[in-house]
Structure formats: C-alpha cells, structure tokens
Structure 1
Amino acid sequence: MTDRIHLHLLSDSTGETLEMLAKAALAQFDDANVVRHFWPMVRSRQHLDRIVPELNANPGLVLYTLVNQEARARLEEVCARNGLPAVPILDRVTEALEKALGQEAHGRPGRQHQMDKAYFERVEAIQFTIAHDDGIAWENWEQADIVLAGVSRSSKTPTSIYLANRGYKVANIPLVVESPPPAKLFELKKPLVVGLTTAPERLVQIRRNRLLTLNEKTETSYVDNRKVKDEVAFARRMFADNGWPVIDVTRRSIEETAAAIIRLLGERKSRDGDLFEGVKAI
C-alpha cells in the first residue's frame, strides 16, 4: 500500500468538472494520502511544457481534460516516457455521446462555461436566493421556484445556495413558535414549498456548537432540549397542516437534501403542476 501519491489534475478550462470527479472518486477510499497538483486553463503546448518539470519532480497519477490535440499529444508523450498513468476522464463519455447523437464533439475548451442563457439564469438564481434568505423580501416569494421552511439551523441557507448554483430561485423562512410566518407563505402557488426537519438531539448539538464558535452563552432556551423538541413539533404540524413535502436532514448532506428537493420538483412538474396532497416524508 502506498503511503502517499501525487495526483495531477490538468484542465483546459476552470477544472471544476475535473475536481468534482476526482473528489467523488477519492471519497471511495479511506484515509487516502493524496497530494493534489491542480493545473487549470492549460490550452497550449507551451503552457504544458511549463508544467512538465513538476510532473517529473512529483510522479503520480495524471487526470486530464484537454481538447487541444497538440497539448494532449505532448502530455501523453511525457506520461508514457516517465511511466505515469494518464486518464482522459471525459473521453469515454464524449465518444458514447458522439455515437448516440450521430455527430462529432466540437472540441472547444471551456465550452460548458460559456455565457449562454443558462449561465445568466444561474446568476439570476443566485442573486435571487441571496436576496431572499432568512425570510427577507417575502413579498416576492411567488417568483421563487422553491421555498424552504424549517426551524433555525436546519440547513435552509446552505441548501438554498446549493440549489441556486443549480439554477433554482430559492427563498427560505425560519419557523419560530413565537413569531408566525407571513401569511404569504400559505398562499403560494408557483413555488414548491418544502419543510426541512431534523432530530431535536442533533439540532441541540448543532446550535450549541454554533454558540460556542460565537463565544456566546450556551445556557439559553435556544439549546434547551424541551424547547427545541417543541420547535420541531411546531414545524412538523405546520408542514402536515399545509400538505408540504418534508425532508429529514438529520443524516443527509446538503447535496443529498438538494437532490431530494429537485426530485420532488420534477415529480410535481410531471403531474402538470398539481399540488402535493398530504405530507411526503423522505
């Protein structure tokens, strides 16, 4: 078993796709000691030649997404000469799509990041979501795609931001027993309203850690076990009374929660916009 490996990531664009794939693959290995070398925007042989000394000095696995044929050929030549395994991670997918679509790929670097309509819609979604965090600007909630409701520290904001980066306009509202939400929340037609809940014990722990990081007292009703249980029960009753789908985030990552919400949205769209009947616990 190797104590440590060097992982070189070479991309002709921002490298975001490459990093995500590498991260997902590495997550399958326990305690992997990996030294990452990240080389984005590699679009010419000259640029690649400046990286070659680093490859020679730190031999390891090379993952790349390069469409420039000259740069690719140079990288493959260097890797073959030095016995470095090199994997063009998108080639198999691109080849399969070419076969399925009956046309050749364009081979333009950074094409997935071009500023097209979808790009500007994503920017707009992010701006909307930031402007409608934590119950702000509730008058505009009807413009949202998704509205998340839940007690404090139930992952509403990070989930909203993640969804916004996927192109969804999201608003979120904290549910407080002593302060009823705006009536607008119960009148929404276009947005999918989703309730986020979590185990009270876990919620107390998260809130306590939050207070500690802020150097605040932890002996408050905010982390009182009984009051927190009452808060969660209050929120669940509201979800049930309004027939909103509910997602328990206790053991879910932000990505898993977002995926469940996107699936719910897709299910609703496939039903021609019909509202959900009853609580759908996930």
Structure 2
Amino acid sequence: MTTRLHLHLLSDSTGETLENIAKAALAQFDDVETVRHFWPMVRTEMHLDRILAEIAQNPGLVVYTLVNPAMRRTLETRCAGLGLPAVAPLDPVNDALSAMLGQQAKARPGRQHVLDAAYFARVDAIQWTIAHDDGIAHEEWEEADIVLAGVSRSSKTPTSIYLANRGFKT
C-alpha cells in the first residue's frame, strides 16, 4: 500500500543541500508517493507567511535550512500549532562543529556557494569539454584530464559533461 506524503522543503538559499538530504532520506523508504513542495530563497516573514498557509492546506513533514533565528522560531511555532514536525537537518552537525571548534556558527545563508578557484576550475573544465566534444580540436587532447573513447551512442558526451561538472577536462 502506497503512503502519500506532503514534504515541505524550505531554504533561505538555493535549497540544493536540502533537496539532497531529503532525497537521501526518502531513498530509505518504499511505497511512498511524495508530493514535494519546494521553496528556496525564503528570506522574509511575508514569504514565510505565504508558505505556512500552503503548509496548512497540505499538512506534512516540514524540513528546513533557515539561519535567521526569528524566521526559524516563527516556522517552528506555527508548525507546532498545526501539529506538524519541523526538522532542521543541519542543526546536529552545526552543534557538533560548534562544540569541537569552540565557536558559534555564522548565520549566513548560502555560504557554501562561493565563487572560489574550485568553482572557476569547474567552469573552465565544462567549457573545455564542450569545445572538445566529439573529437573536436584533437590536437589539444594532451590538456585533458580524461579522454573517453568508445563506439557511437555509448554515452560519451553525457559522461564527459558529468565529469566536467566535477572539474575534469574530458
């Protein structure tokens, strides 16, 4: 028998981390029809109020990554009033890190998404891979991190794009 679950995912950033956590957790359960409600970039009380109205209409599990203490309290209080669980999956990790490092976590949304050297290396790998796909500019292959060879229709291009997104010139 299939169980229907409304899963409410709220983030004050892109929500990518939250989506990955939810996907990993849901993979542990069979026969679940998940209705995903996804709200990224939740940064104002007005936006949160609209989301809470939707949650009241479609009760279910609320999972969030919000760093603003006032918005967290509002969400937790209103969910408790609706009799719904509100889970902040990063809290145990942040608490453990705070204890180990002797400092409090900074309440800054989306800090893992920075434009650093690794980001620009991935962009460079993607551009290089696209420019050299399907044997184009073979004289520059020595610059590649990985060279894929295979028969036609064996998914070399999707594989190379995947690897490029991981930073490998393919």
Task: Flag whether TM exceeds 0.5 (same fold).
Answer: yes
CA gap of 1:95–1:169, structure 2 versus 1, over 3 A, is: farther
Q: 1:72, CA displacement in angstroms?
A: 0.8
User: What percent identity do the matched residue pairs reach?
Assistant: 72
User: What secondary structure sits across from 1:104 in the alignment?
Assistant: coil
Q: Which runs of 5+ in 1 are unaligned?
A: 171-282
Number of the residue aligned with 1:124: 124
- Matches of 2:102 and 2:149, distance apart in 1: 46
- Partner of 2:18, secondary structure, is helix
Write out the 4+ residue segments of structure 1 that deviate beyond 6 Å after TM superposition: none
TM-score (norm 1): 0.56
* More off after superposition, 138-147 vs 56-65: 138-147
Q: Displacement, 1:120?
A: 1.9
The alignment partner of 1:22 has SS state of helix
Letter in 2 for 1:12: D
| Residues 101/150 of structure 1: CA separation in 2 closer, same or farther (3 Å cut) | farther
Determine the structure 2 residue equivalent to 1:140. 140
**Greater RCO (Cα-Cα under 8 Å, separation 6 or more):** 2
Q: Look up the SS of the partner of 1:29 in the other structure.
A: coil
Q: Which residue of 1 aligns with 2:26?
A: 26
Corresponding residue for 2:110? Answer: 110
Residue 9 of structure 2 is matched in structure 1 by 9
Q: Quote the Cα distance in structure 2 between the aligned partners of 1:101 and 1:132.
A: 45
Q: 1:132 to 1:39 in 2, by over 3 A?
A: same
* Alpha carbons of structure 1 residues 167 and 103: separation in structure 2 relative to 1, 3 Å: farther
Equivalent residues of 1:12, 1:110 under 8 A apart: yes
C-alpha separation in 1, matches of 2:159 and 2:102: 38
**Conserved 8 A contact 1:44-1:68:** no
Whole-Å separation in 2 of the counterparts to 1:71 and 1:129: 43
SS in structure 2 opposite 1:38? strand
Query: Aligned ranges for residues 230-249 of structure 1 at < 5 Å?
Result: none
1:247 is matched with which residue? none
Aligned counterpart, 1:47 = 47
Structure 1 residues 28 and 157, CA, compared in 2 at 3 Å: closer, same or farther?
farther
- State the distance in 2 between where 1:31 and 1:156 align: 34
Q: Is the Cα contact below 8 Å between 1:13 and 1:41 reproduced in 2?
A: yes
Deviations 1:43-75, CA, capped at 9 Å, x for gaps? 122221121100100000011111111111111
Structure 2 residue matching 1:113: 3-state secondary structure: coil
* 2:80 match: secondary structure: helix
Partner of residue 60, structure 1: 60
Q: Which has the larger radius of gyration?
A: 1
Task: Return the TM-score normalized by structure 2.
Answer: 0.90
Aligned to 1:86: 86
Specify every segment of 5 or more residues in structure 2 that has no aligned partner in the other structure, as ranges: none
Amino acid at match of 2:62: V
User: 1:106 Cα deviation (Å)?
Assistant: 1.9
Q: Quick check: 2:9–2:37 contact (8 Å CA) kept in 1? A: yes
Secondary structure of the 2:148 match is strand
Judged with a 3 Å threshold, the aligned counterparts in structure 2 of structure 1 residues 68 and 129 are, in CA distance, closer, same or farther, namely same
Task: Give yes or no for contact 1:62–1:86 (8 Å, CA) kept in 2.
Answer: yes
Maintained 8 Å contact 2:2/2:31: no
Matched residues in 1 for 2:152 and 2:111: separation? 40
Encode CA deviations 1:85-135: one digit per residue, 9 max, x unaligned. 111111122222333334332221111112222222222221112112222
Q: Any conservation in 1 of the 2:2–2:32 contact (CA below 8 Å)?
A: no
- Report deviation, 1:8: 0.3
